[in-house]
Amino acid sequence: MIPALRAFAARVTGQAISTFARFMTAPRAIWQGIEPVPHQRVYFANHSSNGDFVLLWTALPAPLRRQTRPVAALDYWLTSPIRAFIGREVFNAVLIDRRPEARTEDPVAQMAAALDQGSSLILFPEGQRNSSDAPLLPFKSGLYHLAKTRPGVDLVPVWIANLNRVMPKGEIIPVPLICTLTFGSPLHLTPDESKDAFLARATQALLALKPQALS
């Protein structure tokens, strides 16, 4: 496909996905302790639905959305030409191979390179969709290593509420429900803070944004 035509198709597809997400969820962004200004950030969120990063990306104001890239699973998004087009062209995702034995690039280095190019990121530190009764799965170490590699970048917790009820696991037809996304105060790795201490602090910062009615 001609590059200009691909770019046009990507813009139209992105607008269509965003419009559909807004129609189904009427997303409400609550900026709690931080403002929606175009600073470079890593938005880290809970992960209970396959539509999480789409909704978070959609909820961002347009100037922020244009500079923000989701971190997504390469082994999921490259399974078909359509998924590859959406992942690469529409969302410009940082595609991470979750199979250590098959990796040719270091995931933290990939994310750091995207930050060095001026992008913000959407990251799910649980590493996989949470289908358990626990509010969060244990965080993987990637968020810590990224914070250590690029300590000046704001790490912004975001709690996504209700999206797992819009598209329950195993269902193919979404149910329209209002969703909220609560953006909290940014975190940074403190000097000499251990991995376990930082991940515990990041976990608590995210859990603190969970609506009380959902506890």
Question: Which string of DSSP letters, residue by residue, matches the chain?
Answer: --HHHHHHHHHHHHHHHHHHHHHHH--EEEE-SS---S--EEEEE---STTHHHHHHHHS-HHHHHTEEEEEEHHHHTSSHHHHHIIIIIS--EEE---GGG-SS-HHHHHHHHHHTT-EEEE-TT-S---SSSS-PPPPTHHHHHHHHSTTSEEEEEEEESHHHHS-TT-SS------EEEE---B-PPTT--HHHHHHHHHHHHHTTS-GGG-
Quote the pLDDT of residue 5: 83
Q: Are 44 and 206 in contact (CB under 8 A)?
A: yes
Quote the pLDDT of residue 175: 55
pLDDT reading at 116 higher than 70: yes
With cut-offs at 50, 70 and 90, classify the pLDDT of residue 214: very low
pLDDT reading at 215 higher than 50: no
Is the model more confident about 82 or about 24? 82
Q: CA 80 to CA 33: how far, in whole Å?
A: 40
With cut-offs at 50, 70 and 90, classify the pLDDT of residue 212: confident
Question: What is the arithmetic mean of pLDDT over 40-67?
Answer: 90
Question: What is the arithmetic mean of pLDDT over 40-49?
Answer: 93
Q: Report the CATH fold assignment for 3-214.
A: Glycerol-3-phosphate (1)-acyltransferase (3.40.1130)
Q: What is the pLDDT of residues 76-111, one digit of tens each?
A: 888 888 888 988 898 999 999 887 777 888 999 999
Question: What is the arithmetic mean of pLDDT over 174-182?
Answer: 75
With cut-offs at 50, 70 and 90, classify the pLDDT of residue 133: confident
β-strand 180-183 against 120-123: which pairing, if any? unpaired
Question: What is the arithmetic mean of pLDDT over 51-73?
Answer: 90
Quote the pLDDT of residue 143: 97
Which residues contact residue 66 at a Cβ distance below 8 angstroms, ignoring those fewer than 6 apart? Answer: none
> What size, in residues, is the chain?
215
pLDDT reading at 164 higher than 70: no
pTM: 0.89
β-strand 41-45 against 94-96: which pairing, if any? unpaired
Is the model more confident about 97 or about 147? 147
Secondary structure of 157-177 as H, E, C letters: EEEEECHHHHCCCCCCCCCCC
Q: CA 3 to CA 115: how far, in whole Å?
A: 25
Q: What is the pLDDT of residues 182-195, one digit of tens each?
A: 999 999 999 999 99
